[in-house]
Chain A
Amino acid sequence: MEGLIEFLAMGGYAAFVWPAFAVTAAVMIGLLVVSRRGVRDETRILDALRPGRRRERD
């Protein structure tokens, strides 16, 4: 338990280290989610425009 507290304290720099990692994670995960959503949304529109159409053909 003490080891965990010591780890989280980051030698007194916790207020800087953890937000840095948190911002990095938030941005990278957020971007991934938005990008996946983009593909999903366009696929849905495409399927609505041409139901049952093979997606390989342009």
Chain B
Amino acid sequence: MRYIPSSNTDRQEMLAAIGVDSIEQLFSGIPERLRLRRLLDIPRALSEPELLEYFRSRAARNASDFVSFAGAGVYRHHIPIIIDALVSRSEFFTAYTPYQAEISQGTLQAIFEFQTYITQLTGMDVSNASLYDGSTAVAEAVLMAQRVTGKKRFLIAKTVHPEYRAVIQTYVKNLGIEVELIDYTEDGRLDLAKLNSAIRNDVAAVVVQSPNFFGSIENTNDVAAIAQKHEALSIVNVCEAVSLGILKPPAADIVCGEGQALGVPESFGGPHVGFLATRERYLRQMPGRLIGMGKDFSGRRAFVMTLTTREQHIRREKATSNICTNQSLCALMATIYLSTVGPKGLREICEHNILKTDYAVNQIKSRTRHRVLFPAPRFNEFVVEFVGDYRLREKRLIQNKVVPGVPLGRFYPELGNALLVCITETARKEHIDALVRGLE
């Protein structure tokens, strides 16, 4: 096998040093009746050319040459070429978790930079080293708010990504935590009146998303004020992290979300990169790894994993989370992305998203019979409700290699004939025009 260096001669010498005749003898600790005495029934070994053919043919059955307006938490932005060049350096991608700081300063400094970027974008004091993804980040934020407040009731906007809400439900269901959904208004945002009537002082936190699942920008100031009045925390989830380049940092106690939009490929839903940032005073209740700046014993600046007494390998069942990793390499992608586009580039990208989305909305309004729902300000997504059966149009568009968006019916039965459309800076005007023609 080409990934195993040792030759038969090497193996014989090693067996002799051990004092056994065969490798088989090394497995004598496994009772014979538990041994597998046949070969595994998996496909035969493929050579490198065969592997290339196998995977290329499967990849070709996915639609990569389509124009896609699918967003809904996973966004297609331009990914600067240098990101892949840098993360393909084996110094980064084949290293382990940086437990041994003296020979892991590259990873450690890069994550420290990620943490800093996240605080700059979110306006929070501290960020962790990343979490699996946005959905688990918001679930961790909920558990964290329960630890901070000691309360067990959560109010969650219905406009939070439905799959994220599902993950929250899975995480909390055995912990006596109660989750109540707060509806949205006709303008596409959290219904503040309903929030006001549902909230009491037993609420641990209010969870909203901005831009929300419909693409509308929530007024997090109002939400935070209501939460604060009832001694509840405010958690703001951000699925579209690029938006933080132009939108004010959310008013919140915890800002968490998904960093995929910052230079990480869609990759069919993962790996992406979750983040969680908060105020200094909640630091010790944070889940996940933290990288700190310190000094070595010669006084040189150095980075190291810190505050590990919150974590599972020390605290075991009393840890703040069971997480034992972060998404280092994806966090590195986001760090390189932000370093490359810079504050001005990021703002321009945001402006293109907003203006192209506005153009698409206006074109659909003026040239088709369909309704664009929810007039609240948007970043790069909007909802179209169809006159007539949506599925017939989708079929026709797909034949023309256009994926018009993500149908909402599976998540919101009341929006059974509606579509969530995403327009990023990568959508050229002729793509948008083709979409509009297909909807006419």
Do these two chains interact? no
